[in-house]
Amino acid sequence: GQIVTLKIFEDNSLVRDAFAENGQAKVLVIDGGGSLRCALIGDQLAVLAQKNGWAGAVVYGCIRDSADIERIDVGIRALNTHPLKSVKRGVGERNIVVTFGGVSFKPGAWLYADEDGIIVSDQPLS
């Protein structure tokens, strides 16, 4: 799907805001600073993403409720899992270029993912 980006740190307020919008054919790329101290997505946010048509999310950070998320029809990839919820302060940036894992994710570019990895393209591949 087409990339929408967030740059946040241990605060998932903007994730909820994004997933509450129409996400038809979009992927939320979350630069969570690589934090392994709390989760940025849980099962309730994954259900919200599915309900609003999001194709998925890539999280440079953690998720929680991974067994439940696996059964939800939205693709979510993250560094790890953590049981602790994040804080809610509404702090972060949206639709800026974020870079992690040696890849720059530009809003509007296209992201394709499966069990083996992620491909990012400036143009749709199909």
Phi-psi label, residue 99: left if phi above 0, alpha if psi -120 to 50, beta otherwise: beta
pLDDT along the chain (126 residues), means of 10: 98 98 97 98 98 98 98 97 97 98 97 94 92
Amino acid 62 reads C
pLDDT digits 0-9 by tens, 9-31: 999 999 999 999 999 999 999 99
pTM: 0.96
